[in-house]
Amino acid sequence: MTAANQTPDSAESSPPSSPTQQRAPISRSHSGLGHDERTPLLKSAGRSRIRLQSAALESGTARGPRLLRHASHNGSLRSARNHSRAGSWGHRLVGALTHNNSMVESKASIQSEDRVWYDQFTSTDWVRDSIADAHRMKALRSRTDVRGRLLAAFDGAQGWILSALVGCITACVAYMVDVSEAPVFDWKEGYCHDGFLISERHCCPGGDRCDAWKSWSNYVKLPHVSETVVEFIIFVILVVALASAACLLTLTSKTVVPSTYHIGTLDENLAAVSTHAELQDDGATSPKSQVEKEPAGSMVYYSAAGSGVAEVRVILSGFVLHGFLGVKTLVVKTAALILSVASGLSLGKEGPFVHIATCIGNIACRMFDKYDRNDGKRREVLSAAAAAGVAVAFGAPLGGVLFSLEEVAYFFPAKTLFRTFFCCITAALSLKFLNPYGTNKVVIFEVRYLTDWDFFELVGFVVVGMVGGAVGALFIKASRAWAKSFRKITIVKQKPLVEVMLVALITGLISFWNPFTKLPVAKLLFNLSSPCDINKEDEMGLCPKDLDDIFPIIRSLAVAFFIKAFLTVITFGIKVPAGIYVPSMVVGGLVGRIFGHLLQWTVLRFPTNPVWGNCAAHADGTSCITPGVYALVAAGSTMCGVTRLSITLAVILFELTGSLDYILPFSLAVLVAKWTADWIEPLSIYDLLTNLNSYPFLNNKHKPMFTSTLAEIVPRVRRERVIDISSSPLVPASSLRNKLEILHKAGEVDGGLAIVRDEVLVGLIPAPELEFALDGLPDEPGTLCLMVKVTSFDDSDDEGDDPTDFTKHIDPSPLTLDIHAPMDLVYECYVKLGLRYICVTREGRFAGVTHKKTFVKYIREMEEKDEH
């Protein structure tokens, strides 16, 4: 097999050596013709190196260097991608599984001989990864021997192995979180005498408090202070302590990344300061202005904060966030999540489960080079892992598959859909075997409605859907307003722990006195959506016995609604692991329960009204109206208003109830909720976070209406953005370094430099490729680099690689469009092909390069203009 036909598969089994290892001594005779493309480009210690200051070479037999032309994984389909985890936390923790990794902590930790293909804040090139995998598969299937067939079979089974492994491990982590947070949550009110790690539910199985459960007031006595006040003080202290511990753990995930690409923030802090550099008249970023504004040039983020769903969605779209899916993030977020949920703050664990499961999927990918060395293939596993997170969070495997398809996945082929379903089923079965809730169920709670709904209730379901969607949309507006006001305070912005302690203090002071807000969010949602049963005791006082009991219940629910809504708004965005799914459902559930009781009162107050016929069967308070149904419908509607999930929510609600009778009301309410929320606030909570954080996320679900052409976003051709080889194919390395620095200062760490000869595009070299090639030069100053392939007369058998030959790093056929191409075509190219950049020509001559980030910025500016 020649070097030109070397396949990625053969190289994956033997990764390419580093630049220093490639410099083997070669004996060469030199020509006296001067400096041209046939002059040896290798160092004098066995290799003659061209220098701008060197004199004429000694005369001799002309024999040029052998210019190696082998496949590259990125751009020219090079054989493999080496990801170093040298000295990282993950390498020490998982050992052999971390020999290769694409999610390194930062570029500063990379050794000089390591290759990192995707830099921080860059975009995955889906086309090149797809081509690389095609070459690998072709080489693998070309083997017809027994070993080759076995390797091919094992290669095909790797996806299923990873799916099963990710599902099982995700269920184990979810089990650990579920069984750990319950007793810690109950510690705020006391402990079990039979065992300090036993929750109140297991300590007193009957439901009521038993003698084995001891309140803190039994041991802490203060003179002239009642037991209730003592329990209140201890409750508040423990809420603040647990929340502060969760925050301190989260702050250990702080990542500082030296980078010139500035974005606002990488967590759910909506008060991020925008750091946009000034633009010149041609649309290019001014390096001077950017350096003046951000002299430090580093990015800081906390990978374990928030839910992580917005970042997972951006990562699956092809954006690289190093450290967000690492081992350290997994460990820290899991531990901090237990503490944050146990503190009683108005947050949930369901959203962080998606992030945790995706971390597990990313780490598991290191087992197989097929996924570890190909970011496109890796994201297939990450899509399945994210779905498994929802499956274990709600006990809804079908909902998990739809969540991945509807919300987070960007590229979802048919085989990925089936593997995602397999991963979710594996996770659900594993969780059922572990039985974290002690009910032999996988759902967080199970509600059964024995009575069917009447036709006139459809109007009520529509109204509840509208109200829930409006509440969800208003929550987004309120969160943004709170973040841009309170979090602008200097001490709050600089000291995240201060905000967490303040929020925890407010939560403890308010929630202790209300029986609804004092409960865990999942248990509260279960009580709100449960039907009344005369054979069971009404612990929460939600089941009226006559007409006079209804309005007192409504008043208590209304108070709980305002408290819970306020606490949820101020809690969202603090530096602890926090989900928004169940808290938003609880807020909606309170509204729905209020509406259900109002409808119940109306039916009982006017029992002979022909609209509802015989619905008011008894005057003692029972009727065909089940307030719990409206609570669950409103809960799903509010979550829809916050996240804009639709089919996923309808299926999750169905899996929670297991009732086919209520699929239609659930679906109808979700539809109405989405329409209402879109009318009030066009952005979902994750769209808002994506925009405020300035992620280059190109939404593939909502296509804007274009009337312009590609010329509108193409900057003028600048000399420092082009490599001109019209006079010679040899370019000084110092000139290339200067051009690369200009790209970096402009924030285009994943951009590229066009190679032009006589104004005709002949290729493009990506900025990461160019940086790697320049770093591999043993003596950069004064070196000439070959930028185009030339005929080689070297007849030696040497297979050494010439570090000054940059042709192997060049993409000889970048996708090119005419400058008058419609913007719709540009959108399709970026969305369907997953390109980083598009080269532009005018009448066959080079006219510029437009980047994906430039296109995303253009769309956002167009949308903002339309809003105004």
Res. 450: pLDDT tops 90: no
Enter the DSSP assignment of 404: I
- Asked if 397 and 428 touch (Cβ cutoff 8 Å), the reply is yes
pLDDT of residue 110: 32
Instruction: Go through the chain and tell me how many residues it has.
Output: 868
Q: What percent of the chain has pLDDT over 90?
A: 34
Element holding 247 (H helix, E strand) = helix 227-251
- Residue that wins the pLDDT comparison between 494 and 54: 494
User: For 369-375, what is the mean pLDDT?
Assistant: 87
User: For 459-488, what is the mean pLDDT?
Assistant: 92
pLDDT of residue 549: 86
- Asked if 63 and 70 touch (Cβ cutoff 8 Å), the reply is no
pLDDT of residue 1: 42
User: For 15-21, what is the mean pLDDT?
Assistant: 37
Give the separation between CA 668 and CA 657, rounded to whole angstroms: 16
The pLDDT tens digits of the residues spanning 211-238 come to 888 888 888 888 888 888 999 999 999 9
Tokens 């350096």 correspond to what residue?
Answer: 291
pLDDT of residue 831: 87
pLDDT of residue 635: 94
Supply the DSSP string of 285-314, one letter for each residue: B-HHHHHHH-SS-EEEEETTSB--HHHHHH
3-class state of residue 557 by DSSP: helix
Name the band, by pLDDT with cuts 50, 70 and 90, for residue 12: very low
- Asked if 442 and 655 touch (Cβ cutoff 8 Å), the reply is no
* Beta bridge pairs of residue 319: 123
pLDDT of residue 414: 80
Name the band, by pLDDT with cuts 50, 70 and 90, for residue 80: very low
The pLDDT tens digits of the residues spanning 644-672 come to 999 999 999 888 887 788 889 999 999 99
Least confident of 53-67, 150-164, 492-506: 53-67
Name the band, by pLDDT with cuts 50, 70 and 90, for residue 430: very high
pLDDT of residue 595: 94
Tokens 């997953």 correspond to what residue?
Answer: 834
User: For 298-302, what is the mean pLDDT?
Assistant: 72
The pLDDT tens digits of the residues spanning 808-825 come to 888 888 899 999 999 999
Name the band, by pLDDT with cuts 50, 70 and 90, for residue 22: very low
Nearest to 175 by CA among 401, 444, 374: 444
Name the band, by pLDDT with cuts 50, 70 and 90, for residue 505: very high
Res. 853: pLDDT tops 90: no
Res. 49: pLDDT tops 80: no
3-class state of residue 194 by DSSP: coil
Q: Is 846 left (phi over 0), alpha (psi -120 to 50) or beta?
A: beta
pLDDT of residue 502: 95
User: For 502-517, what is the mean pLDDT?
Assistant: 92
pLDDT of residue 356: 96
User: For 469-484, what is the mean pLDDT?
Assistant: 92
Res. 406: pLDDT tops 50: yes
Enter the DSSP assignment of 727: S
Name the band, by pLDDT with cuts 50, 70 and 90, for residue 588: very high
User: For 633-653, what is the mean pLDDT?
Assistant: 93
Res. 370: pLDDT tops 80: yes
The pLDDT tens digits of the residues spanning 187-210 come to 998 888 888 888 888 888 876 778
3-class state of residue 468 by DSSP: helix
* Residue 763 vs residues 433, 615, 718, 816: alpha-carbon distances, Å: 56, 75, 17, 10
Domains of the chain: 260-296 (no CATH), 457-531+540-686 (1.10.3080.10), 710-867 (3.10.580.10)
Least confident of 258-262, 299-303, 560-564: 258-262
The pLDDT tens digits of the residues spanning 597-613 come to 999 898 888 888 888 87
Task: Please give the mean pLDDT across all residues of the chain.
Answer: 78
3-class state of residue 192 by DSSP: strand
Supply the DSSP string of 50-87, one letter for each residue: -BTT--PPPP----PPP-----BSSSSBBS------TT
Helical packing angle, 627-643 and 581-605, nearest 10°: 140
**756: CB partners within 8 A, 6+ apart:** 722, 723, 724, 725, 726, 762, 846
User: For 562-581, what is the mean pLDDT?
Assistant: 93
User: For 562-580, what is the mean pLDDT?
Assistant: 93
Nearest to 436 by CA among 343, 353, 319: 353
User: For 158-172, what is the mean pLDDT?
Assistant: 95
Q: Residue 372 — φ and ψ, nearest 5°?
A: -70, -35
pLDDT of residue 750: 79
- Asked if 371 and 158 touch (Cβ cutoff 8 Å), the reply is yes
Q: What percent of the chain has pLDDT over 70?
A: 79
Structure tokens at 417: 């859909």
| Burial of residue 678, with CB atoms counted within 10 A of its CB: 0-12 exposed, 13-18 middle, 19 or more buried | middle
The pLDDT tens digits of the residues spanning 720-770 come to 889 999 888 899 999 999 998 888 877 777 788 999 999 899 999 988 888
User: For 463-478, what is the mean pLDDT?
Assistant: 95
Res. 7: pLDDT tops 60: no
pLDDT of residue 47: 35
pLDDT of residue 25: 37
Res. 70: pLDDT tops 70: no
Res. 270: pLDDT tops 80: no
β-bridge pairing 752-757 and 722-724: parallel
Give the separation between CA 291 and CA 301, rounded to whole angstroms: 20
- Residue that wins the pLDDT comparison between 700 and 684: 684
Res. 293: pLDDT tops 90: no
Q: Which of 61-75, 213-227, 579-593, 770-784 reaches the highest mean pLDDT?
A: 579-593
Least confident of 22-26, 197-201, 858-862: 22-26
Give the separation between CA 154 and CA 867, rounded to whole angstroms: 53
pLDDT of residue 355: 95
Name the band, by pLDDT with cuts 50, 70 and 90, for residue 2: very low
Dihedral (CA of 360, 361, 367, 373) sign = negative
